[in-house]
Amino acid sequence: MLEIRDVEVAYEDLQAIWGVSMEVAAGEIVVLIGPNGAGKTTLMRAIAGLQPPLRGRIVLDGAPIQSLAAHSIVERGVVLVPEGRRLFAGMSVYENLLLGAYTAKARAAQAKSLRRVQEVFPILAERRDQAAGTLSGGEQQMLAIGRALMSLPRLLLLDEPSLGLAPLVVRDIFEVLRQINRDGVTLLLAEQNARMALELAHRAYILEQGKVAGQGTGPEMLASDHVRRAYLGYVTAGEEASEK
């Protein structure tokens, strides 16, 4: 579905991504893990058309999209839930949701999409007329995901969806992501909560210093000594012995 080939991205003179290649197959949940500053957000922005790459190719369903405007990429079914939610705080929950349905195809399905979002997130129906900025952090994240669903995504990009949320809320959000995937939406997730992300993932990539430093299935990555040491807080048997 999505192919990224030798992509490099820079902000003026500062290069953030170096020769990244990866794939996302239709129906998968693929996770990006890595430390702060590794380039995860930059890569998501490049896929979404918000930060065009210096070089390399981003291919969706066999057609290159790296030169397209962001709205054209949304029209092709690739929708980003950005880090920090980026809601319109003074507008109501309902108004924020409607903003997600701005393409012609999404507008035609607006009523059906709204019912679906309210089934997935019943709290949004209860908060329909409430200003988005007055919602809790978890409710705001639900609204951000709901707004993205209104755009009829085939590939949903999520940048740090658990950021700043309580553990119980994070579990609820991740369960919703499983359901969205079961409903036929492919997910690409950049996430600091490596354990929960890898438990969710079909496959995962490690991004470190702007480069792919490893890849594998979710279970393979959970069993990796490097992942366990760097991202899950484990000490390997050999390291424990050497410390003694």
The strands making up 78-81's β-sheet, listed across from edge to edge, are 78-81, 155-159, 186-190, 29-33, 203-208, 211-217
pTM value?
Answer: 0.90
pLDDT at 162: 87
126's CB contacts (< 8 A; 6+ apart) are: none
CATH class as words, domain 1-77+153-161+174-244: alpha beta
What are phi and psi for residue 218, nearest 5 degrees? Answer: -55, -50
CA distance 23 to 52: 18
Calculate what percentage of the chain has a pLDDT beyond 70. 95
Mean pLDDT across the stretch 5-26? 94
pLDDT in tens, 209-242: 999 999 999 999 999 999 999 888 865 555 444 4
pLDDT at 237: 52
Phi-psi region of 88 (alpha: psi -120 to 50; beta: other; left: phi over 0): beta
Residues in the chain: 244
Mean pLDDT across the stretch 67-96? 93
Which of 22, 19, 5 shows the shortest CA–CA distance to 189? 22
Looking at every residue in the chain, the average pLDDT score rounds to: 91
Confidence of residue 180 (pLDDT cuts 50, 70, 90): very high
Confidence of residue 144 (pLDDT cuts 50, 70, 90): very high
pLDDT at 236: 53
Confidence of residue 13 (pLDDT cuts 50, 70, 90): confident
Confidence of residue 86 (pLDDT cuts 50, 70, 90): confident
pLDDT at 243: 43
Map out the domains of the chain as residue ranges. Answer: 1-77+153-161+174-244, 86-152
According to the 3-state scheme, what is the secondary structure of 187-214?
EEEECCCHHHHHHHCCEEEEEECCEEEE
CA distance 180 to 202: 14
In contact, 217 and 224? CB cutoff 8 Å: no
